[in-house]
Amino acid sequence: MSEKLKEIVKEKYSQIANQSKTQNETSCCGSSGCCDSVDYTIFSDDYSSLQGYNKDADLGLGCGIPTEFAHLKPGDSVLDLGSGAGNDCFVARAIVGESGKVTGLDFTEAMIKKALINKEKLGFKNIEFVQGDIEEMPLPDSSFDVVISNCVLNLVPDKEKAFKEIYRVLKPGGHFCVSDVIISGNLPEKIKDDAEMYAGCVSGAIQKDDYLQIIKKNNFKEIEIKKEKEIEIPNAIMLNYISLDELRKFKKEKTGIYSITVVAKK
């Protein structure tokens, strides 16, 4: 099942990679109409005032701004998991400067290509983009001061493996700052089982306590939620998957979908 989910994610994000943020806001796959029921930008924050922001790299796919709480400093070596078109990498690079290094890891070849085009335009020499699986990163042990990620780990089927890998690639004393989607309560089965809602960062989300427990289990210390906000999914989107009665029940049970930004230290 996990391999099937990975293929779904790869397919959807390959299509998204070939669009602008504006197209992603109106439908996730533009004129192809492949998944017009999910707005993939529904969680995204506004990056436009940040130093290093590059409009071409912003596809509106995040659910926070992990660099806000990552405590990056000049000279740091940073890894961005699920780097997409490079948005967070370019913002991180503005902070770590010429003496630092930023690596973006993404599962999708089309995203890597888009990120490399953006990097070429900017002429940066200390950013690299690597294609690979977060569950098995093609990166050496203890090689990064900071790991960041933005609305991506919820797309990884095996979150235990993901955090184990984050721990492995961090230097001793290094830390991570991750923005992600979690849930409180129970999602309706039709949404949990839907591939589109998985790729849209909803059905792959897990309970907050379970999420934090996975981090703790992988030996991270000083775990702290820096930011939390509830995400309202429009009724029109929900009604593509569940009936009006099921929607009323969902609202009554107060199931919440949240974006959180978490930090922890190795």
- 8: confidence class by pLDDT, cuts 50, 70, 90: confident
User: 3-state SS of the chain: helix, strand, coil percent to 5?
Assistant: 40, 25, 40
Instruction: Give dist(CA 239, CA 65) in Å, integer.
Output: 29
- 197: confidence class by pLDDT, cuts 50, 70, 90: low
Instruction: Give dist(CA 95, CA 72) in Å, integer.
Output: 7
80-to-137, 138, 148, 176, 189 alpha-carbon distances in Å? 12, 13, 5, 10, 32
Residue 178 CB contacts under 8 Å (≥ 6 apart), including other chains: 66, 81, 147, 148, 149, 150, 153, 261, 262, 263
Instruction: Give dist(CA 79, CA 98) in Å, integer.
Output: 16
DSSP classification of residue 45: P
* The predicted structure's pLDDT at residue 130: 98
What residue ranges do the domains of the chain occupy?
2-265
What stretches of 61-143 adopt beta strand conformation (E)? 77-81, 101-106, 127-131
Number of Cβ atoms within 10 Å of the Cβ of 8:
15
- 7: confidence class by pLDDT, cuts 50, 70, 90: confident
Structure tokens at 126: 């200390």
Taking residues 93-105, report their average pLDDT. 98
Taking residues 181-189, report their average pLDDT. 81
Instruction: Give dist(CA 19, CA 42) in Å, integer.
Output: 16
224 against 185, higher pLDDT: 224
**198 pLDDT exceeds 60?**
no
Instruction: Give dist(CA 251, CA 132) in Å, integer.
Output: 38
**199 pLDDT exceeds 60?**
no
* The predicted structure's pLDDT at residue 27: 42
Nearest to 256 by CA among 183, 180, 197: 183
**26 pLDDT exceeds 50?**
no
Taking residues 68-90, report their average pLDDT. 97
CATH class of 2-265: alpha beta
- 246: confidence class by pLDDT, cuts 50, 70, 90: confident
Instruction: Give dist(CA 53, CA 120) in Å, integer.
Output: 15
